Amino acid sequence: MTTSQATFESLVKDMGEIYALAEIGSVLHWDQETMMPERGVSTRAAQLAELAGVLHAKRTSPELVDKVKSVDSAELDPTQKAAMREICRDVDKAQKVPASLLKEIAKEASLGHQTWAKARKEQNFSLFHPVLERMIGLKKEYAKCLGYKNSPYEALLDEFEPGSELNDVASLLGDLEAPLRDLAERIKSKNQPKVSLQGDYAADAQLKLAKVVSEQLGYAFTAGRLDLAVHPFTSGGTPGDVRITTRVNPQDFQDCLYSTIHEVGHALYEQGIDQSLTFSPLGYAVSLGVHESQSRLWENQVARGPFFSQWIYSRCNEVLGLGEMAYDAFYQAINEVGGSFIRTESDEVTYNLHILLRFELERAIFEEKLDPADLETAWNDRSEELLGFRPPSVDVGVLQDVHWSGGHFGYFPTYTLGNVFAAELYQCAEKDVDDLSAKLVNGDVCELLGWLRENVHQHGRLYRAPELLQRICGHKPSAEPLLDYLEDKFSKIYGL
């Protein structure tokens, strides 16, 4: 063993302690969103702040930084190199960004969230504008600390999508615009009447259905649990304990059902990471885009697809009772292209146009091509071009999303990357898994899950997103599979 290798081993051990402590934060966050009594808020905030302090101190300790510097990556094997890349990323970031700036961002985010909620309620963008300006200023400083080549937005995107080039992401998203606008337009012109799934569905029955479907998809309840949360999320980080949450709308079971499936997609990824990687540098998801590809693949390609939805329809009928609704109507209802003002309520076709809107605007802000004071108008103008409507008010327009209030610039494009990657992966899986459609009709997802486990999940973050996709699909991720998939699926549904 060379000196570099020995130091590397010792670093992995040090980092293991940091990862184990960091994961405590996940448990505390999950608890806060699902279990914590309301009066626990202030002490929980103090606990999280102390934990963050401990982690920052550990990540910036001179001994650790010295070890990182003294490893010569050339002496490591490819897997060790990948691990070292992740260690450096983690330690570098802690070194480069001063704790005082992080605190300021956290403080502004907390204020930002309150102000955003108020401005949204009062439908007044100008209330939010000054807080947004300050947050943008702080995040510019943050980007500067991290460093970038041409645009501060590169540094922000890299936080969520490490290893992806801004220009590549911009091309991918840009390639979607014209075909998706065209597809949405053609669907709209068909004027097809809506099918409603509205009804009266007991919460117990909806949760039972959610559980049945989760288990069928391969989610292991021995390594997780399902609870209620206002905004569904997945809490994970170790394959033995990955918890999902959902919500129940008594009038619309689709919300609980598809929120659950989405989170199950995330959870299957976390549960599928090789357990020997737990608390090691590679034992985590690649990126938000790859994470989202897993949730989207299960939610859309599988559970809103023409095959597995037949199995779901039967379960809905058994558990909830669908009355006179035939499968065809059910299938149309779960795939309705509606042209919603709201991103989170939009369909597979227009969703990515919502994302393109946000991506363009936030990038323009950080590249100083758009003054945040003009954001509302810019939003409305571009909304009209991309989606065909001006939002009637800011609560369903520029103030609809929470992200910017918390300083999460660079996050939005990962949603569309998720859709792009999901289409790429599903196209490959269809080639590799024999009779996938027939299996899905019968609710059998074992081989598909096995394929994802083998190709994506188990590796943790050994490969970065572009490399992972290249290895699996044999080419650089492109918009084509997503466009083909959407064109094919919705042509059939809408008889285009």
Hey, which residues are catalytic here?
A: 263
Is the CB of 38 or the CB of 324 nearer to a second copy? 38
23 binds a second copy (CB under 8 A): yes
Is the CB of 50 or the CB of 328 nearer to a second copy? 50
CA distance 124 to 14: 49
> DSSP string covering 448-468, please?
HHHHHHHHTGGGTTSS-HHHH
Is the CB of 47 or the CB of 317 nearer to a second copy? 47
Burial of 252 (0-12, 13-18, 19+ CB in 10 A): middle
User: Applying CB under 8 A, which part among 40-48, 61-69, 254-262, 300-308 lies near a second copy?
Assistant: 40-48
**Cβ-based neighbours of 448, under 8 Å, separated by 6 or more:** 302, 429, 433, 436, 439, 440
Q: Which of 2, 3, 13, 35 binds a second copy (CB under 8 A)?
A: 35
Q: Which residues from 208-237 bind a second copy, rule CB under 8 A?
A: 220-225
CA distance 413 to 158: 11
Alpha-carbon radius of gyration of the chain: 23
Q: Which residues from 44-103 bind a second copy, rule CB under 8 A?
A: 44, 46-47, 49-51, 53-54
DSSP state of 299: I
Residue type, 342: I
428 binds a second copy (CB under 8 A): no
User: Applying CB under 8 A, which part among 41-49, 368-376, 421-429, 435-443 lies near a second copy?
Assistant: 41-49
- 59 with 90: CB under 8 angstroms? yes
- 422 with 296: CB under 8 angstroms? yes
CA distance 437 to 458: 24
433 binds a second copy (CB under 8 A): no
Q: What are phi and psi of 463, to 5 degrees?
A: -110, 145
42 binds a second copy (CB under 8 A): yes
Q: Which residues from 459-478 bind a second copy, rule CB under 8 A?
A: none
CB of 98 to a second copy, least distance (A): 20
User: Applying CB under 8 A, which part among 15-23, 257-265, 384-392, 478-486 lies near a second copy?
Assistant: 15-23
> DSSP string covering 196-260, please?
-------HHHHHHHHHHHHHHTT--GGG--EEE-SS--EEEEETTEEEEEE---TT-HHHHHHHH
141 binds a second copy (CB under 8 A): no
- 108 with 128: CB under 8 angstroms? no
37 binds a second copy (CB under 8 A): yes
Is the CB of 76 or the CB of 277 nearer to a second copy? 277
Is the CB of 127 or the CB of 220 nearer to a second copy? 220
Q: Which residues from 98-127 bind a second copy, rule CB under 8 A?
A: none
457 binds a second copy (CB under 8 A): no
C-beta neighbour count of 69 within 10 angstroms? 11
Q: Which residues from 243-272 bind a second copy, rule CB under 8 A?
A: 243
CA distance 80 to 78: 5
238 binds a second copy (CB under 8 A): yes
CB of 221 to a second copy, least distance (A): 7
CB of 241 to a second copy, least distance (A): 3
Q: What are phi and psi of 236, to 5 degrees?
A: -150, -155
User: Applying CB under 8 A, which part among 25-33, 69-77, 106-114, 116-124 lies near a second copy?
Assistant: 25-33
Residues that bind a second copy (CB under 8 A): 17, 20-21, 23-24, 27-28, 31, 35-44, 46-47, 49-51, 53-54, 220-225, 238-241, 243, 278-279
